[in-house]
Amino acid sequence: MEHPSHRGAPMIRWLTMCMVMGCQDKSKGSTPLSAADTASFAEGEGYQRLAISETSSGKVLVTNGATGTIEGELCLSELHSFPCAGGTTLANPCLMFGTEMQTDGSVLLTYTLREPGTPLAPGAISLVEPAHPPVARWSILNISIPDALQEQERIDCTRDPATPACHLYGAHNTWMLEDGRLLVADTSNSRILWLQVPSEGTTAQVESMLSTSHPQWGSERYPNQVQALDIDGSPHILITFKGHIKPGGEVIDEGPLVLWDLSDPSRPERVWTFPEMGGLAAVHQAWVTDTPDGAMILYAHSRGSETDGDPDRYGSIGFASFNGQSPPEYMADGILPSPGLGFTREVEWDAETNRLLVVDSGCENSQDNCGRDGQILAIDWPSLSPSGQTGAFSLDHAEQTFVELHQQPVLLAQDLRFPFDVDPLQEDQLSELGLCE
């Protein structure tokens, strides 16, 4: 994933809508494929080079565009021999989350150095040059929170340094902003951080944060994605929340998308919540992007089609029109015919190949025995129109409209273990990397 300096910037494409709205995009720096290449993909005559974040193995997998097999890897076990060496399942230490291809060939990694036997899953961020082992330009293993922010958050990191809020905790995604700062979804701490890259050492200074201490932050919890947007010349962020907390303290996997206005950085203002009432079922990684139908919000509605008694109805892909500071308009949830989608983690529109790329992790976690495998799917853009519904999830789906999607031939000739995200690659990106030892 790319941006002028991030998302490879998710690889940041400056698409038509992005030139108008100044949004961060998931595919910068890529060259459109030829018409012949695009046609061959549509006809199933070829695979596509992809970078895939595989959470459970702690790897970034690079696929071969001719064979659909894995030809390269970046491994946390080589970047951090301790505690990552030997950790290849969710029961072992290191988990890979967001991975963003940068325009200079480096890769921005967000991951967890999970320590068995402790409740804290310490997050980490590194900018690496792809090699064996990866060469870290810098790594963030710790954060330094100014006293004023500690007071705001009611924590004391000097007196209680083991407090989870004094660390990155299960962070899922990081973006490198144009001014050099990092924008981080610090997931398990339920907050968004702005960090300064360390000039030396492995401790990053926290410049600012948006968290549950803000009076306009509601019951939403566990942000797994944050996107920087420029709307009418003013900075905004769109946050994806997996869940929310109920009165009494129970956290359930129904969360919203929330837009914040950062025109005054010292006084963030909540703009809208989608859906306005209710939530989305364990939603992941919403992203504003330009599409064949204009500016849209695409979101992995991870359990969006779940229906009692129907094993083929579980995950879906959400579509809503993006209207800047005005609330989005829900279009539909996309589903596949039997056996349907599993637990979806990411969806993005790949303008170069004219299709949706969808990350389906199969099961939600390693404890599930759902009988589904992880996979990366290519899907045609569907016919969409306003539904007049809110898109809010319920088991009877009263506020949802489902459209059946058309899947293109497979992109990868093997199953995956809990993939988290995917980025299309050009021939010169992560080429000749080879496998980890």
Whole-number pLDDT of residue 118 = 65
Whole-number pLDDT of residue 114 = 74
Dihedral in degrees, nearest 10, Cα atoms 284, 289, 291, 294:
120
> Which burial class, exposed, middle or buried, applies to 155 when counting CB atoms under 10 A from its CB (0-12, 13-18, 19+)?
middle
Whole-number pLDDT of residue 163 = 93
What 3-state class would DSSP assign to 139? Answer: strand
Whole-number pLDDT of residue 340 = 95
Look at residues 102, 90, 236, 237 and name the one whose alpha carbon lies nearest to residue 170: 90
**C-beta separation of 2 from 29 below 8 A:** yes
Q: Domain boundaries in the chain?
A: 16-30+40-424
For the chain, give the secondary structure using H, E and C.
Answer: CECCCCEECECECCCHHHHHHCCCCCCECCCCCCHHHHHHHHCCCCCCCEEEEECCCCEEEEECCCCCCEEEEEEHHHHCHHHHCCCCCCCCCEEEEEEEECCCCCEEEEEEECCCCCCCCEEEEEEEECCCCCEEEEEECEEECCHHHHHHHCCCCCCCCCCHHHCCECCCEEEECCCCCEEEEEHHHCEEEEEECCCCCCEEEEEEEEECCCCCCCCEEEEEEEEEEEECCEEEEEEEEEEEECCCCCEECEECEEEEECCCCCCCEEEEEECCCCCEECCEEEEEEEECCEEEEEEEECCCCCCCCCCCCCEEEEEEEEECCEEEEEEEEEECCCCCECCEEEEEEECCCCEEEEEECCCCCCCCCCCCCEEEEEECCCCCCCCCCCCCCCCCCCCCCEEECCECCCCCCCCECCEEEEEECCCCCCCCCECCC
Local confidence pLDDT in tens for the 437 residues of the chain: 433 333 333 333 333 334 334 455 554 433 333 444 444 444 444 589 999 999 989 999 999 988 889 999 999 999 998 888 875 555 566 999 999 999 999 999 999 997 666 667 789 999 999 999 999 999 999 999 999 999 999 999 999 999 999 999 999 999 999 999 999 999 999 999 999 999 999 999 999 999 999 999 999 999 999 999 999 999 999 999 999 999 999 999 999 999 999 999 999 999 999 999 999 999 999 999 999 999 999 999 999 999 998 988 999 999 999 999 999 999 999 999 999 999 999 999 999 999 999 999 999 986 677 889 899 999 999 999 999 999 999 999 999 999 999 999 888 888 898 999 999 999 889 999 999 98
Whole-number pLDDT of residue 415 = 84
Determine the Cα–Cα distance for residues 338 and 315; give it in Å rounded to an integer.
12
Whole-number pLDDT of residue 88 = 55
CATH number of 16-30+40-424: 2.130.10
Whole-number pLDDT of residue 205 = 98
Whole-number pLDDT of residue 367 = 66
Look at residues 268, 301, 272 and name the one whose alpha carbon lies nearest to residue 286: 301
Determine the Cα–Cα distance for residues 349 and 335; give it in Å rounded to an integer.
16
What are the residues whose beta carbons fall under 8 Å from the beta carbon of 343, sequence distance 6 or more? 282, 302, 303, 314, 315, 360, 361, 362, 363, 364, 370, 372
Determine the Cα–Cα distance for residues 365 and 101; give it in Å rounded to an integer.
26
Whole-number pLDDT of residue 371 = 86
23's tokens: 């949004």
What confidence tens digit (pLDDT) does each residue in 109-149 have? 999 997 666 667 789 999 999 999 999 999 999 999 999 99
> In degrees rounded to 5, what are phi and psi of residue 321?
-70, 145
The sign of the torsion formed by the CA atoms of 187, 188, 193, 199 equals: negative
Does residue 386 have a cis peptide bond before it, meaning omega lies within 30 degrees of 0?
A: no
Other C-beta atoms lying within 10 Å of the C-beta of residue 325? 12
**C-beta separation of 122 from 187 below 8 A:** no
Determine the Cα–Cα distance for residues 291 and 100; give it in Å rounded to an integer.
21
Whole-number pLDDT of residue 24 = 53
Whole-number pLDDT of residue 89 = 56
Whole-number pLDDT of residue 365 = 83
**C-beta separation of 394 from 278 below 8 A:** yes
Whole-number pLDDT of residue 414 = 83
Whole-number pLDDT of residue 412 = 87
What 3-state class would DSSP assign to 191? Answer: strand
